[in-house]
Every structure is written in C-alpha cells, then in structure tokens.
Amino acid sequence: PQIWWLDPELTYGNAKPFVFTQGHSVCNRSFFPCFDTPAVKCTYSATVKAPAGIQVLMSATQSTYLEEEGVYQFYMEYPVPAYLVALVAGDLTHADIGPRSRVWAEPCLLPTAISKLSGMVERWLTAAESLYGPYIWGRYDIVFLPPSFPIVAMENPCLTFIISSILESDEFLIIDVIHEVAHSWFGNAVTNATWEEMWLSEGLATYAQRRITTETYGAAFTCLETAFRLDALHRQMKLLGEDNPVSKLQVKLEPGVNPSNLMNLFTYEKGYCFVYYLSQLCGDPRHFDSFLRAYIEKYKFTSVVAQDLLDSFLNFFPELKEQCVESKAGLEFERWLNATGPPLAEPDLSQGSSLTSPVETLFKLWTTEPLDSAAAASSVDLTKWRTFQTVLFLDRLLDGSPLPHEVIKKLSECYSSQLDSMNAEIRIRWLQIVVRNDYYPDLYKVRRFLENQMSRMYTIPLYEDLCTGTLKSFALEIFYQTQNQLHPNLRKTIQQILSQGLNPLPAIDTTAVTADTPAMVLEDKVSEATNGAISLRDVNVSA
C-alpha cells in the first residue's frame, strides 16, 4: 500500500491514530494521479484538512495552518519526482535541533530524538555543503515514525522519514541520517531517470555519505562501516549466485515487476564501489568532489541516465579521457554496469584496521579448533567496542552457524548477558545465532525480544530463522501471543513465513543497512530472479 493508516495501538503513545505515505518507488500513483516515473519532475501544492490535535507534515518547502478551519496548506517550490511527495499526520510534537532543522516525534519519543541529534544534523549538512555545494531545499527536518514504517528511512525532501526503532542504535542512526542527508544532492536534486539505474541515486548517496562520515568521524570509522556493508554484500552474493541478473548495476525491469524488488545491496554497495573506483581514477578524492559539485550544478532539478554521469566525468577530466580509462581491460565502464557478480574493484579499507583487526582476531579465537575459550573470553571487552565492530563479529559467527555446541555454549556464557544491555541491532544478531544453533537455554530471550518488537526489520529475520529450523511451534506460539500488536501487513508476511514450513517466503528485511538504511524493504517477495528462500537480513532498508 501507499497510504498506511494506523490505529492508536500501533503508535508509541497509544493515544491518537496515525497516517503516513511511502511513495518509493511506484506507490504514489495510488495516492494522487501522477506521472509515476522518476524521469518527470514538477512542483506541487496540497491542501489537507485534519481533526484538531493532529499535526500534518509534508515534504514541502512552505506550509501554513489555518487553525479555525483545521486546514494545512503545503507548497513544494522545486520540481521533484512523484515518489518524493510524502505526507505524515498524527500526535507529533517538535523541537529545533539546529538553525535549519527540527525533529518531529510522538511526545514520548521527542526527548530521545533531541538527545541523539541535537547539533548533529547541522554539522553533517555543513560538511556535505563543503563537499558538494549549497543545500538547496531550505529546511532539513526529520520525523520519527512508528515501528510499522516498512523501511528504515526515506529521503523525502525537507522532511526525512525515519523509523523510531533505530533511535536506540546510535551508530546506525548516524549513518542512516547522513545517508538521507546525502540524498539531498544525489537522488533528490539529481535523480535517476529510470528505476533500472537506481544506483545513480543509491551508489552516489552511499559514496557521499562516506565522504561526510570521513570528514566528521574520520577514515577508520568509515572503513569499519564500509567493511560491515561489503561483508553483507558478499553474503548476499553467496545467497543469490554470482550470475544472478539482480547483481547488475543496470538491471532489466520486466513488465509488471515492482522496481522496489530490484532494491538490493548491489544498488548501494556495488554502485558505491563503481563511484569509488571513478574517484580513484582522479588520484585525489577532492578532485572528484569538485567534479560532483559541477555535476550537481549542471543537472540539479533534472533526471539523468548513467551516460550523463560518465560523459560529464570524462569531459571534466580530459586527461583521463585521453587515457581511455573507460575501456581499461577488466575494468571497462560497460562491464561495471552490465556484468553480474561482485564489484570489479573494492576500496582499500586498511585505514580501518585499528577497528576491524580486533574483530578478525576475536572471530579466529572463537572458531579455531581446539577452542581455547579462556583466551577468547579474556581477549576483548565487547562493551568497549563500537556497534559496527560487534555486529561485524556477530555477522561472521552467524555465517559460520551452526557452530559446535561447545562454542555456542561458551559464547553464551561469555557474552549473552553483556549483549542483553546493548542495542537492538546487536541483540537481533545474537538471537539469530541462538536460533540457528538451536541453543535452548537462551530461547527465552528470543521470546522476550519478539514480544517487544513491532517493526519488520526486527521480527522477519527471527521468524524466518525459527521456521527454517526446528523451532516452528515456538514461533507460532509467540506469533499468536503478539499478533495484535503488529501492523496487518507485517502480520500477513509473518503468517506467510509460518505457513511455508521449511521453505520460508523470501521476505527481504532491512536490518539497518538503510537509509535509505539498506534495506528498502523489497515488499514481501524478492523478484522471481532470486529463486528460493533467502533471508537478506542485510539489505538496509533505507531508501
């Protein structure tokens, strides 16, 4: 659906109904009559009538409210594609967090949102402007949505939508918001003209996001986050097979296929690797920043195809054009765009080794036979690690599951209670390890987690794992107990997983890898091309 109506029970405050729209990629045609293609852009105005006590917001540059009539008026003065028109309404209050930014959230969440983001957004906007030129949308506000929001984040201009569930996971929140900030230039100002080239928005936004995090948090942190995502890309590659057509940057969109089904880690990370490769050809990333500034200036408020980007690149760097870099053997631009499989080249992440090496060391200690659990246990204090270090470690353990019983038992003794107090991105990974290893002593934690989670990204992966193994009756029991607190769409997806028995429906989840955190939820089905049951836990579902 495009318009999501929520009863009060599906909000945090349980007080008032809530509604939001999600237009990406071709859903807004059911919201208003439009040319629902990213190739067409226009300005828009809207008049919205709402009951007293309901705050209405839209992705617009101007808004007014006539209290006596209960009427809001919105105007977006810059041309945008249809998918970026968005509306949200509910029990929302706001606080300013910077000179051109405010957060909107339900009253009970507002203090958390303020404490996590106050002062930060302006810092990120300023860093982005220093790299890519002026922020053209006026305001950059953020609204936090209930857990039913089907993806992690969405870059609606002037008003980024973010799922509230991510608030507790600081590092994921930072990356997701910065990714959406980057879309203000790449995706919103300059847009892919066709959904077959979504990497023009997502690959460039991911590259820009990492330039911004390098400027604000340093290269080591950026390399750690990149290593975590590329790990996820290779995991997805293994699941899908190297010759799968969805691994191309230029995907063929068959008639009747929802473009959101093409949204996967390749769109983000293979796209990023290609953009990074182009930046390396220039020698200095700052030269590439200058090119991107010129590209934005030339194409802002229009839609482009890959050839526009690549021609502009070669014209900006005539010396590279002379060297025929576009046809360098094995790294031809054409091959980057149309070959299946992993990226043709990946970035050098050695600047992140101070953060990634301890992860590799600890993983080896736990997986080398014979197990020396005392050495493994005493080597690291996980509470001092960054979130991305811990999730990278747990993802690798998850890849190695099922583990020998002695290993999972010792891991639990060593870390289980520590992990209990950590954020949901960390906890869900530990619980997936518990499930995939049939580790019964910790199953009560899986139940407790699912009793308290209402979002797609923190329920689907666990239900898929429970139904693939021997724990289906346990999953059914939890589902019957908790189903009334789930949105009907999510309930339906979980019912499908439960009814599929040992072959769960390939629902794509979106545990932070987003913004457009990755995972755009790929609806309830992966495109036909993916065949078979796949839990793409790592598709960050941010648009």
Domains and CATH numbers, the chain: 3-166 (3.30.2010.30), 191-338 (1.10.390.10), 351-499 (1.25.40.320)
Q: Are 142 and 95 in contact (CB under 8 A)?
A: no
**Sign (positive or negative) of CA dihedral 152, 347, 267, 529:** negative
Q: How far apart are CA 76 and CA 62, in angstroms?
A: 7
Residue 365 is encoded by which pair of tokens? 């200690």
pLDDT at residue 292, as a whole number: 98
Closest CA to 201 of 267, 136, 290: 267
Task: Based on the residue annotation, tell me whether 180 is a catalytic residue of this protein.
Answer: yes
pLDDT at residue 500, as a whole number: 86
pLDDT at residue 501, as a whole number: 52
pLDDT at residue 543, as a whole number: 60
Dihedral (Cα; 233, 237, 243, 249), 10-degree rounding: -20
Selecting among 106, 171, 180, 269, the annotated active-site residue is: 180
Residues in binding site: 179, 183, 202
Residues in binding site for Zn(2+): 179, 183, 202
Q: How far apart are CA 431 and CA 408, in angstroms?
A: 12
pLDDT at residue 32, as a whole number: 95
Please name the residue ranges forming H helices in 469-505.
472-482, 488-499
Q: Are 449 and 458 in contact (CB under 8 A)?
A: yes
Q: How far apart are CA 392 and CA 359, in angstroms?
A: 7
SS3 281: helix
Q: How far apart are CA 20 and CA 409, in angstroms?
A: 44
Query: Which residues have C-beta within 8 Å of that of residue 541, sequence separation ≥ 6?
Result: 150, 151, 152, 263, 457, 508, 509, 510, 513, 514, 516, 517, 518, 519, 520, 521
pLDDT at residue 337, as a whole number: 98
Closest CA to 96 of 62, 128, 121: 121
Task: Based on the residue annotation, tell me whether 268 is a catalytic residue of this protein.
Answer: yes
pLDDT at residue 533, as a whole number: 33
Low-confidence stretches of the chain (pLDDT < 50) are: 502-541
pLDDT at residue 542, as a whole number: 54
Selecting among 83, 268, 277, 415, the annotated active-site residue is: 268
Residue 325 is encoded by which pair of tokens? 């870099």
